[in-house]
Amino acid sequence: MKSKIRIKQPRRAGLRRDLGQIMKCLCTGEQLRKVDKMIPSSESLAAKDYSLSGYSSKIGVPEKKPDTRNIEEAELSLRESSSLNYEEARALLGRIEYQKGNIEAALHVFEGIDIAAISPKMKLTLSKRVDRRKRRSHDYAPPPMSIHAVSLLLEAIFLKAKSLQHLQRFREAAQSCTVILDIVESSLPEGLPENFGADCKLQETLIKAVELLPELWKFGDSPHEAILSYRRALLHQWNLDAETTARIQKQFAIFLLYCGGEASPPNLRCQIDSSFVPRNNIEEAILLLMILLRKVSLKRIEWDPSILDHLSFALSMSGDLRALANQIEELLPGVISRKERYNFLALCYYGAGEDLVALNLLRKLLQSNEDPHCVPALLMASRICGGKPNLAEEGIKFAHRALESLDEECSELEGTGNLLLGVARSTHSNSALSDSERVSRQSEALQALERAWKITSMKDPNILYYLCLENAEQRKLEAALYYAKYLLKLEGGSNIKGWLLLARILSAQKRFVDGEIVLNAALDQTGKWDQGELLRTKAKLQIAQGQLKSAIETYSQLLAVLQVQSKSFGSGRRLHKDRSSRSFEQEIWHDLAYLYISLSQYQDAEVCLSKSKAINSYSAIRSHATGKVILPWVYVVVVIQ
């Protein structure tokens, strides 16, 4: 039989009738023997009926009907080239096997396609098609393959990757999928023109390959290759639709946040001057998620609540909750409910240290026409007010409202409500006008904290901390010491606050040596970056014992840690909600200045105060210390006169 079968009439019906015979003819003789050698089992291609009826040779077992689009691709390829070559026939046969669910048989068929041999022809065909569209001329050399044949072969490579994925050979599948992108990218370096391959399945196959490749590398435990594949998908022009691009951006951001490794910064080929380039995983994830939010605002994609969830996590990790608040404020009305918006914004502003802004938002939410019985909002409002003497009474009211609004029995929320009630009452007691009123309020605060402690079955370390603190403030030091030891045991020494509280209670009992021993034990179990408050408290205990030289050494050690920390993380790194590392460093310089003043080393004290001034020009404590430095010289001048 001739190697090529000529078609006299390009009619669709005639092609459909002859296609089965053509495929059988192509698999006869030497080619059929090659296929039989590849699949020697009884289920070999030679033993199967590859007619287009869509039924298996197994008697009585119906198979899934093949996708007729493949037949149309083959027909169009026949129309353009008047033949169906060996690789195209294998691509079509493999597609039918894949649809039947015979994954291994389909893979054997696909592996018979010589991809290295046909790749140059496919690249030349794609590039010539683009040149033809640009020149709009009929005077050109015909491409070596039809565009429909290219589409058919690219789909075969993609289905080979899917077959390998099904067999859990993820790295091989990724390499096969990469071939598709390499062929298209090398032949079309400037990207795909619009509506390129719209008349065939080429664009659809390409989109699937672009989206599948990073997933294959992830399953193959190759995070670096997965990141490179995500960037390749987003930076090259693949003609992806908006929803597909958004889906890839979201999956990439999720992978960057939770993959557990650190990726190298992207190397952008076309980078605009002064444009932002992310330096690490979190920054790149934040950038991607912000782009997605902007697309939502422009109504290019549908709203996805998980975008905001992941962005909240990323910005919380980076410590920039103010930026998160800005993103939420930019969302169009109706994207999230007003109640949810108030809650989000209040949390953001509270985390950013803007307590009053957060409180005003919560007041709006808790109005009678909004949601006056929202327990989380009531608890948060009580927490904000409970730490401020001028708002403590309002905090007590919020805590009472929260406890009254608890419909179902929830020991955790009830315990939290009583905890916040106790903290607010304790703060409120400081503004009492008489001793009897102060004692009464302190007693109510202690009762609320003990009630919270019992409700939570004495297992909540946060409640225990405040119970211990309240006993210490009321000078019930033995009870405070008992609770502090219990807290340290409950947390296993994992929280610095527990160590500090125990050391300070021992200090209040004039047991300075025991307090220093506790702090040394805490320093041994704590990382360098978290030793600031421990070292400062240790220095103060050394001062209380008259060990001034040792205190100077401790302060010097602390300043060295802060200096290295500022170079590593930047000077704006927040130690906690209310204080940055720079403000903490300024406090240390003030402590050290007073220490030098007590030793009459005024020049050293002046150096410390100049360091403080370099951090912040305005400070009442520094002005007071400066006065103490100048005062002896004024006294000397007055005596001389």
pLDDT along the chain (641 residues), means of 10: 36 41 40 38 33 33 46 50 70 89 91 88 83 56 79 91 94 94 87 68 89 94 92 89 94 92 69 67 91 91 92 88 90 88 93 93 91 92 94 95 84 92 94 91 94 90 95 94 94 91 95 94 88 93 94 93 76 50 89 92 91 89 87 59 56
- In angstroms, rounded to a whole number, what is the distance separating the alpha carbons of residues 380 and 621? 33
Structure tokens given for 116: 């290295």
Q: Which residues contact 186 (CB under 8 A, 6 or more apart)?
A: 123
Give me the sign of the Cα torsion angle 132, 137, 140, 145.
Answer: positive
pLDDT value of position 76: 52
pLDDT value of position 18: 39
Which of 474, 473, 517, 478 lies closest to 499, judged by CA?
517
Q: Which helix (H) or strand (E) holds 579?
A: strand 579-580
- Residues 542-555 as b or e (16 or more Cβ within 10 Å = b): bbeeebeebbbebb
Terminal C-alpha separation, the chain? 127
Which of 165, 154, 278, 147 lies closest to 204, judged by CA?
154
Q: Which residues contact 429 (CB under 8 A, 6 or more apart)?
A: 438, 441, 442, 445
Give me the sign of the Cα torsion angle 338, 339, 340, 346.
Answer: positive
- In angstroms, rounded to a whole number, what is the distance separating the alpha carbons of residues 43 and 104? 11
Which of 581, 582, 608, 583 lies closest to 594, judged by CA?
608
Q: Which residues, listed in sequence order, are joined to residue 96 by a DSSP beta bridge?
A: none
Q: Where in the chain is the domain with CATH 1.25.40.10?
A: 69-132+144-192+200-240, 458-533+540-546
Any idea which architecture 69-132+144-192+200-240 has in CATH? Alpha Horseshoe (1.25)
Which of 341, 340, 339, 320 lies closest to 330, judged by CA?
341
CA angle in degrees (0–180, nearest 5) for 126-130-136: 140
pLDDT value of position 62: 39
* Cβ-contact 281, 255 below 8 angstroms: no
Write the CATH number of the domain with boundaries 458-533+540-546. Answer: 1.25.40.10
Which of 263, 308, 303 lies closest to 283, judged by CA?
263
- In angstroms, rounded to a whole number, what is the distance separating the alpha carbons of residues 307 and 285? 11
Q: What is the largest CA-CA distance in the chain?
A: 127
> Could you please report the per-residue DSSP string of 285-327?
HHHHHHHHHHHHHTTSS---HHHHHHHHHHHHHHT-HHHHHHH
Q: Which residues, listed in sequence order, are joined to residue 579 by a DSSP beta bridge?
A: 576
Using a cut of 0.85, tell me whether the model's pTM lies above it: no
- In angstroms, rounded to a whole number, what is the distance separating the alpha carbons of residues 502 and 481? 7
Q: Which residues contact 164 (CB under 8 A, 6 or more apart)?
A: 107, 170, 172, 173, 176
Q: How far is the CA of 32 from the CAs of 36, 105, 154, in angstroms?
A: 6, 15, 23
Phi and psi torsions of 57, nearest 5°: -75, -10
Give me the sign of the Cα torsion angle 194, 196, 201, 207.
Answer: negative
Q: What radius of gyration, in Å, describes the C-alpha atoms of the chain?
A: 37
